[in-house]
Amino acid sequence: MEYQIFLAGVGGQGILSVTDILCNAAVDMGFKVHGSETHGMSQRGGSVFSNVRFGEIFSPLIMERDSDVLLGFEPTEALRYAPYVKPNGLCLVNIHPIPSPSFTLTKSSYPEIKSIVLALKTYTPNVVSIDATKLASELGMSIVQNIVMLGSLSAVPDLPLSVDSLKIALKKQFRAKHFNLNLKAFEIGRQAYKNNNP
């Protein structure tokens, strides 16, 4: 068995925290884990990705057209890394856009979300859109959009990680005073996946 999750977004979105939680949950369930991530220069507001692989694996990197899930924390970043999702894999995307400063300079506008979702569908028919940032804002902390996305992922039927193991890893990740908010974000994301997945 092997299972692979490709996480993509913008530096500062908390992608490494989610990577941590997924790795810990996988080890908790007895899997061998391997992951890879972006540090250093490319982190500063740039495009970042991380890979989580567990099961019978060696490489820390996922191959194009091979990831079971593409977890996109930002629409155009999801599209940038869409070649990594399996032809019948799942693309779970936060549709809240984050423009780039180069954008503002060239006075171009952010592409239409609808077009991005359509483009994502050329890589896999299974695209689930979640407005994770909006859901997180409703909790009063837009930054927990990453945990909303994690919650959505937890509802994916073929994910070999149990909700319990994810919650244990979630609890380990944050200080006690932040746990409740993150748990709420997780549950909201979980529900959002169920609501948005026809």
Q: How far is the CB of 126 from another protein (least distance, A)?
A: 15
Identify the residue among 47, 191, 196, 197 touching another protein (CB under 8 A): 47
Distance between CA 146 and CA 17 in Å, rounded? 8
* Residue whose structure tokens are 């319990």: 164
The DSSP bridge partners found for residue 69 are 5, 90
- φ, ψ dihedrals at 140, nearest 5°: 95, 0
5, 6, 34, 95: residue in contact with another protein (rule CB under 8 A): 34
Using CB under 8 A as the criterion, what x/- string covers residues 161-180 for binding another protein? -----------x--------
Min CB(29)–another protein separation in Å: 11
Which residue among 5, 7, 10, 166 contacts another protein (CB under 8 A)?
10
| 64 is a site residue for another protein (CB under 8 A) | yes
Torsion of Cα atoms, 152 then 81 then 129 then 87, to 10°: -90
125 is an interface residue for another protein by CB under 8 A: no
The neighbouring-strand residues paired with 56 are: none
- Residue 88 sits in the site that holds another protein (CB under 8 A): no
Nearer to another protein, 52 or 155 (CB): 52
- Whose tokens are 């695209």? That residue is 127
The minimum distance between CB 71 and another protein, in angstroms, equals 16
Cβ proximity of 31 and 54 under 8 Å? yes
Q: Which of 100, 191, 196, 197 binds another protein (CB under 8 A)?
A: 100
Whether residue 34 contacts residue 59, with contact meaning beta carbons closer than 8 Å, is answered with yes
Read off the DSSP letter of residue 166: H
